[in-house]
Structure 1
C-alpha cells in the first residue's frame, strides 16, 4: 500500500496504558487464537511494538501481543502510532496480518478485499491483491460481484502509485485530438492531460503521423493453415526443407556461441562476458521470439519495433567493423 511516510512516526515507540487501547474491527473473523497468545506469553525476548491508530486508539496490528501482555500482568505496552484515515488503517491491518504473525484465512482475505474495494474504489485489482495476499484475478472477480458485473468507469491507482484509466480508449481519443490541435505539446503534457502513460501518448502520436486511427485495431487470430494434402508431396517437402534449414541455422548459432563461451580470452574479461551475454540472446528459436512478440502490448509495439530496427543497425555496424578488422589482421 502506498501510504505517505509521514503517517508513521518513524522509529518512535512509546509506552501507553493497556486500558487506553481499543480492540475492535479486526479483519480476523475467527477471533483471537488462544494457543498463539499462550506461545507469546512464553517468549522472553521483547516483542515488537503494537501498531495503533492514533485518532481512535484502535489496535491495527498486535492484538495477540496485547493479550499476552495482559496475561503477564503488564500495565503498559510498547506502541507505534499510525496517523491516517480509518480506511487506510484497516488496509494496514490486513497487510500486517498477511506478512507476519498468524496469517489471515482465505475467507478473511476475500472479505477484506471486498471492504477495500468499497473504501478505495480507485485502487487497481493488482494493488488490492498486493494488500490482501490474493491474486489480481480473485480481486477482479470480487469487484465484479460487488458491482453487479459492471465495472466502475474512470481511473484507478496502480501498485506504483500512478493513476491509470480503466479503459484507455477514451484517453487515446483525447490524446489524438490534443496532438492534432496542439502539435507542439510534449508527450508528457499529452499523457498528463489524457491520463495515459507517455508511451501510450507516443504510440498515439506515431499512429497519427502514419495516418492511422489512435486506437489500435483488435488483434485477430490467424486461422490455422490447413494441413497439406497427400497429393502435394512437393509442397510438403519444400516446407519441411525450409523448417529444417531454419532449425539448422539456429543450431549453428548455438554451436558458434558455445565455442566462444569456452574461449578463455572472452570468458575471463568483463567486455568478453558482455559480448557473450548479447550473443546468447540470438540463440533463441523462432517460436521463442514469436512468444516474446505476442506478449508485447499493443501500445508498445511501435516503440519495440523502432528499437529492434535500431539494434539491427547497431549489429550491422558491428559486423562491418569486425569484418574490416579481420581483413586488416588477415
Structure 2
C-alpha cells in the first residue's frame, strides 16, 4: 500500500469529499492560492474554484458564523482555523450557536460543520500559537472532538466528520503533518467513538492523544528491552469517547498512565482517569497517573519548549515508577 504524510492524507480526504458531494466547501484565511498556513489545501483552489475554496477576511468569529449559517441551509462547510489558539476568537459561534442549535430547535435543524485546526507545540511558534486547548471544547454538549495521531486515522476520521450531521472540531498536530503511514487511495471512514489499540501489552496501559501516541510508542520500544510490556490506547475521538476499550485494557494490565500535551491541570486526562477510577477501580494494581504539560505558557526557546510538555524520556520514567508499585 502507498504511504502518505498526515498532511497529504487530510488534503486527500477534503478533495475526495468535495468531488463526491458538491455541498462540501472550504472557508479560511489564505487557504486558496497560498494553500493554508501549513500547505494542507494547496492545489484545491485550482480544482474546485473560488466558490468552494473561499479565502476569507481575518476574522475567526466571522468565518465560523458564516459557516454555521451555511450549514443550517444545507451546505457542509469545512472551516480552516490557522492555529487552534485562534479558536478562542470563534467560541461564541462554536459554543453558543453551532453546539446548541439542533437541541434548541428540537432536531429540526442541524449544523454539519467541521472546524479543522493545527494544534500543539514543537515548532517554536511561542505562547499564542502552540497551545493544546482540546479539553475546553470537550466540555461543551453538542460538539464532537477528534484528535487523530496518524495519517491513516486523519483521512478516515475527517471523512467521517464531514459526513456527520453535527459540528465537529478536528485537531491536527503540527509535528504530525510530515509523518507517513499507509493510507488507502479509496475513500474510507473510521467510526467516531472507536479507539485504536496502537500496541498490545500486558503490564501497563497508556492512554495517549495526538503527538503523545507516537512518543508513547517510542517509550514502549525502549522499555521492551527491559521486559516491560506496554499497551497503548489512542482514543482518536475525545467526544464521543470509547470508554469500553480503555476499561478493557486497564482491567487486563491493572495500571494506567494517561499522557497528553495539554497542561495537566484540568486536562482531558483527568476525565479518562475519573472514568477508570469510577468503573475499574477494583482492577487497579497501582494508582492512576497523569502526565501532561506544565502550567506555563509555551516558550519560544526550543529547549524550554521541550521542557514544557512530555517527552519520550518522561513517559519512560513514569512507566517505570508505576511498574514498581
TM-score, normalised by the number of residues in structure 1:
0.26
The structure that has the greater radius of gyration is 1
More strand by share: 2
